[in-house]
Amino acid sequence: MLRINLLLLLAVMTSAIFLVHTQYESRRLFTELDRAEAEARRLATDQLRLQVEKRAQAAPQRIETLAREKLQMKQASQAITQYVHETAAGTAQ
């Protein structure tokens, strides 16, 4: 009878330790999942913000302003345009 009681006690203790370990692992994984979801939300927000910034940087009005101010570019006109004509021999004049 003592052997059966010891065997049952050992089985109960093993089961209890396994249960505690499983619950701990479950909580750890849930916390990790929650952190990963928060990181995914943060990254999605960053992606949207960067897309908005990209569209703002590529706006035609901004590009034209930068070309005029920083690069001192001017609108093409007949007065500043030079045409190159090709001769029959294949050389340009």
The closest of 71, 70, 66 to 56, measured between CA atoms, is: 66
Please give the C-alpha separations between residue 23 and each of 14, 19, 31, 35, in angstroms, as whole numbers: 14, 6, 12, 18
List the domain range (segments joined by +) for residue 65: 1-71
Count of structural domains within the chain: 1
Residue 33 lies in a domain: yes
Task: Find out whether 57 and 50 touch, Cβ atoms under 8 Å.
Answer: no
Strands (E), the chain: none
Q: How far apart are CA 37 and CA 32, in angstroms?
A: 9
The predicted pLDDT at position 8 comes to 96
Q: Using one digit for the tens of pLDDT, what is the confidence trace for 40-67?
A: 999 999 999 999 999 988 888 888 888 8
For residue range 16-31, list pLDDT tens digits in order. Answer: 999 999 999 999 999 9
Q: Is residue 85 part of a domain?
A: no
Phi, psi of 74 (to 5 degrees): -125, 160
Give per-residue pLDDT as tens, 5-19: 999 999 999 999 999
Q: What is the pLDDT of residue 90?
A: 62
